[in-house]
Chain A
Amino acid sequence: MTDQATMNLVSFEDAVSRYDPLIGLETHVELGTLTKMFCGCPARFGGEPNSLVCPVCLGLPGSLPVTNRMAIEYTMKIGLALNCTIADTARFARKNYFYPDMPKDYQISQYDEPLCTDGWLDITVHDPAAGDEPRPFRVEIERVHLEEDTGKSMHVGSTGRIHGAEYSLVDYNRAGIPLVEIVTKPVAGTGALAPEVARTYVAELRDLLRALGVSDVRMEEGSLRCDVNTSLAPRGASAWGTRTETKNVNSLRSVARAVRSEIQRQAALLDAGQRVVQETRHFNEETGTTSPGRSKEEAQDYRYFPEPDLVPVAPSRDWVESVRAQLPELPGARRARLQREWGLSELDMAALRNAGALDLVAETIAAGATPADARKWWLSELLRTANKSGAELGDLPITPADVARVAQLVDSGVVNDRLAREVIEGVLAGEGTPDEVVTGRGLVVVSDDTALTAAVDEAIAAHPDVAEKIRSGKVAAAGALVGAVMKATGGKADASRVRELILGRLS
Chain B
Amino acid sequence: MSIARAEVAHLARLSRLALTDEELDHFAVQLDQIISAVARVQEVAAEGIPPTSHAVPLANVFRDDVVIPPLGADKVLDQAPAVEDQRFRVPRILAED
Interface residues in chain A, defined as those with a beta carbon under 8 Å from any beta carbon in chain B: 33-35, 39-42, 48-55, 58, 66-72, 89, 91, 96-100, 153-157, 162-163, 165-172, 294-295, 297, 301, 303, 306, 308, 310-315
Q: Give A507 to B61 CA distance when docked, in angstroms.
A: 88
Task: Specify the chain A residue showing the minimal Cβ separation from B82.
Answer: A167
User: Is B59 in the interface zone, CB < 8 Å from A?
Assistant: yes
Q: Give A69 to B11 CA distance when docked, in angstroms.
A: 35
Q: Which of B53, B64, B71, B96 contacts A53 (CB 8 A)?
A: B71
* Nearest chain A CB to B67 CB, angstrom units: 5
Q: Which residues of A contact B93 (CB under 8 A)?
A: 99-100, 153, 155, 162, 165, 168
Interface residues in chain B, defined as those with a beta carbon under 8 Å from any beta carbon in chain A: 11, 14-16, 51, 53-54, 56, 58-68, 70-73, 76-77, 84-93, 95-97
Contact B62–A169 (Cβ < 8 Å): no
Q: Give A153 to B88 CA distance when docked, in angstroms.
A: 9
Q: Which residues of B contact A157 (CB under 8 A)?
A: 92
Q: Which residues of B contact A154 (CB under 8 A)?
A: 87
Q: Which of B15, B88, B92 contacts A50 (CB 8 A)?
A: B88
* Nearest chain B CB to A8 CB, angstrom units: 26
Task: Specify the chain B residue showing the minimal Cβ separation from A91.
Answer: B53
Q: Give A70 to B63 CA distance when docked, in angstroms.
A: 9
Q: Give A20 to B61 CA distance when docked, in angstroms.
A: 47
Contact B70–A52 (Cβ < 8 Å): yes
Contact A169–B65 (Cβ < 8 Å): no
Q: Which of B65, B71, B90 contacts A34 (CB 8 A)?
A: B65
Contact A98–B16 (Cβ < 8 Å): yes
Q: Which residues of A contact B65 (CB under 8 A)?
A: 33-35, 68-71
Main secondary structure of the interface of A (DSSP, over half): loop
A-B pairs, 8 with minimum CB distance: A40-B68, A306-B53, A69-B62, A70-B65, A169-B87, A314-B59, A49-B86, A170-B88
Q: Which residues of A contact B62 (CB under 8 A)?
A: 66-69, 72
Contact B90–A98 (Cβ < 8 Å): no
Contact B97–A294 (Cβ < 8 Å): yes
Given contacts A39-B68, A172-B88, contact A162 B95 (CB under 8 A): yes
Q: Which of A49, A50, A295, A310 contacts B97 (CB 8 A)?
A: A295
Contact B53–A308 (Cβ < 8 Å): yes
Task: Specify the chain B residue showing the minimal Cβ separation from A93.
Answer: B53
* Nearest chain A CB to B13 CB, angstrom units: 9
Question: Could you list 7 further interchain pairs (A-B, Cβ under 8 angstroms) beyond the known A162-B95, A315-B60?
Answer: A40-B67, A41-B70, A66-B62, A67-B63, A169-B84, A172-B76, A312-B53
From B53, B70, B76, B92, residue with most partner A Cβ within 10 Å: B70
Q: Give A89 to B50 CA distance when docked, in angstroms.
A: 12
Q: Which of B16, B59, B68 contacts A311 (CB 8 A)?
A: B59
* Nearest chain B CB to A88 CB, angstrom units: 10
Task: Specify the chain A residue showing the minimal Cβ separation from B64.
Answer: A69
Task: Specify the chain A residue showing the minimal Cβ separation from B65.
Answer: A70
* Nearest chain A CB to B37 CB, angstrom units: 18
Q: Which residues of B contact A153 (CB under 8 A)?
A: 90, 93
Contact B73–A297 (Cβ < 8 Å): no
* Nearest chain A CB to B16 CB, angstrom units: 5
Task: Specify the chain B residue showing the minimal Cβ separation from A34.
Answer: B65
Contacts A/B (CB < 8 Å), 7 sampled: A42-B70, A50-B86, A67-B62, A165-B92, A167-B90, A294-B97, A306-B51
Task: Specify the chain A residue showing the minimal Cβ separation from B91.
Answer: A167
Task: Specify the chain B residue showing the minimal Cβ separation from A151.
Answer: B88
Task: Specify the chain B residue showing the minimal Cβ separation from A50.
Answer: B73
Q: Give A167 to B62 CA distance when docked, in angstroms.
A: 38
Contact B61–A311 (Cβ < 8 Å): yes
Q: Which residues of A contact B92 (CB under 8 A)?
A: 157, 165-168
Q: Which of B60, B61, B70, B96 contacts A51 (CB 8 A)?
A: B70
Task: Specify the chain A residue showing the minimal Cβ separation from B57.
Answer: A311
Q: Give A306 to B96 CA distance when docked, in angstroms.
A: 27
Q: Which residues of B contact A311 (CB under 8 A)?
A: 54, 56, 58-61
Contact B73–A48 (Cβ < 8 Å): yes
Q: Which of B14, B71, B72, B85 contacts A98 (CB 8 A)?
A: B14
* Nearest chain B CB to A312 CB, angstrom units: 5
* Nearest chain B CB to A494 CB, angstrom units: 59
Contact A308–B54 (Cβ < 8 Å): yes
Q: Which of B56, B71, B89, B95 contacts A55 (CB 8 A)?
A: B71
* Nearest chain A CB to B59 CB, angstrom units: 4
Q: Give A98 to B85 CA distance when docked, in angstroms.
A: 23
Q: Give A69 to B90 CA distance when docked, in angstroms.
A: 34
Q: Which residues of A contact B63 (CB under 8 A)?
A: 40, 66-69
